[in-house]
Structure 1
Amino acid sequence: MSNSNTDSVEESNAAVAVADAPEPGDSAEDGVDVEELEHEGDIAADYIEGLLDIADFDGDIDMDVEGDRAMVSVVGATLDELIGDKGEVLEALQELTRLAVHRTTGSRSRLMLDIGGFREGRRKTLTRIGAEAAAEVKKTGEVKPLTPMTPFERKVVHDAIAAAGLRSESEGEEPHRYVVVHPAD
């Protein structure tokens, strides 16, 4: 009789596993919970809006979900102080915003914050840098280390190098971590 119960439990678990399995083409395929990401974006937008009010900055806040991240963008006329010379203030604000989301949800957030289109412009530049480095490595056949970058910057460069059909790795310790481009095997 216990064997029958065990079979029943196993069949039940199998049915649950199948029912929970995402359908091909579903956004849940990558484990993405769009509602949760939208919730993170709402929390982040409220947090950033509060910071803007405290600092007496004007800016409009847009929230979106791209891939597996919530994206919060602040657009306005004079937001350079919130970006910093090389985006270091933006990076700090992003980390503070992620902490605010974590404090509310109890979950680690991969939220991306952009201010004044800085990240989008930087993404285009980094994609070009990655493509140029890949072209050079293809031509010379030699390993090419790049300059130190933030995690966001390294991710964009890694993606550009992979799109060119080459392999790359990150080496070093923060804040001096950098991408190394390797020739095709």
Structure 2
Amino acid sequence: MNYVEIVGKTREEAVEKALLELNAKIEDVTIDVEEQKPKGFFGFLAKKELRVKVTLKETKKTDEDLEDFSFASKGFSLEDDKKDDSKILKESVIDENSKEMAKKFLEDIFTTLEINAEINISENEGCLCIGVTGDEASRLIGRRGESLDSLQMLTGLAVNRDRDKYVKVLLDIENYRAKREESLIKYANKMARQSAKQRRVIKLEPMNPYERRIIHSALQSDRYVKTYSEGKDPYRKIVIEPKYK
């Protein structure tokens, strides 16, 4: 797939999501922006949304580029939400300045919201990993981690402002992501067994790209079912289909 269409509250938000989906840098794409009409009660309290279409520029692929599709060799299709982000990680450049910017950005937010929390920042395989602990901070996780994902995106935008080299940011609060991953894997296996036993297609609820990758990975070697995704974000969902009907 050489393009994606993403809806976001701001151009920067939508473009960042699209770049992650395509595993591309800003100079490797063309961007078309369309402003959506605001939705709301007679226009009050309504927020405009932007739909951006981000298209990869035509370039000659090298052997190194082909390595970015390593998930395909492990049983994944080449759909946009199943791509490995190894290219972004290899190009991620972390320095003390990026760590300080991330910490200050979060500290300012916590101060404004009057939240007491401890921030720990580390580097892991080219990723800036930020762990936040504190009971009060847990309210920033949101339903199924939606608020956490938004805060992670905003932190990434703050860190990468005016930078030539991209820094991938992973934010976690009270070890939520590990707990969510464990829960998703159990859920995937349960739905897979149900799909195989009843010999019927099961569509899961919409998930973000990070959670869809967990489901795909958990079931990639399953003997009885296969998975694929359908729809467009934010309503894109995983379909579990029995191999033997």
What TM-score comes out, normalization by structure 2 length? 0.54
* 3-state SS of paired residue (2:105): helix
Measure, in 2, the Cα distance between the counterparts of 1:71 and 1:86.
20
| Structure with the larger helix share | 1
Contact residue 41 and residue 71 of structure 1 kept, 8 A: no
In 2: Cα distance, 1:179 partner to 1:119 partner: 19
Letter in structure 2 aligned against 1:95: M
Match of 1:129 in 2: 187
Cα contact 1:167–1:183 (8 A) shared by 2: yes
How much has 1:37 moved relative to structure 2? 4.5
Once the two structures are TM-superposed, the CA of residue 66 in structure 1 deviates from its matched residue by 4.4
SS in 2 for 1:134: helix
C-alpha contact (below 8 Å) 1:41/1:72 kept by paired residues? no
For 2:9, the equivalent position in structure 1 comes to: none
- For 2:146 and 2:92, how far apart are their aligned partners in 1? 30
* Separation in 2, partners of 1:100, 1:115: 18
Q: Which residue of 1 aligns with 2:235?
A: 176
Residue of structure 2 in register with 1:18 after alignment: none
- Report the Cα distance in structure 2 between the residues aligned to 1:142 and 1:171, rounded to whole angstroms: 17
Change (3 A) 1:35 1:88: closer
1:86 corresponds to which of 133, 136, 144: 144
Counting aligned pairs with the same residue, the percent is: 28
Return the offset for 1:174: 1.8
CA contact (8 A) 1:168 1:181 kept: yes
**Aligned counterparts of 2:218 and 2:134: Cα–Cα separation in 1:** 30
Preserved CA contact (<8 Å) 1:41 1:111? no
Change over 3 Å in CA distance of 1:136–1:108 after alignment to 2:
farther
Contact in 2 for aligned 1:167/1:181 (Cα 8 Å): yes
Judged with a 3 Å threshold, the aligned counterparts in structure 2 of structure 1 residues 41 and 150 are, in CA distance, closer, same or farther, namely farther
Deviations 1:76-117 (A, max 9, x none): 121133122332221211110111122143445542211122
Distance 2:147 2:183 in 1: 19
Q: Give the direction of change, closer, same or farther, for the CA distance of 1:35–1:146 in structure 2 (3 Å limit).
A: closer
Structure 2: segments with no counterpart, 5+ residues = 1-85
Equivalent residue pairs, number: 157
Partners of 1:76 and 1:66 lie apart in 2 by 22
Query: Tell me, which stretches of 5 or more residues in structure 1 are unaligned?
Result: 1-29
Q: CA RMSD in A?
A: 2.9
Structure holding more strand per residue: 2
Do the aligned partners of residues 38 and 74 (structure 1) sit closer, same or farther apart at CA in structure 2, a change above 3 Å counting?
farther
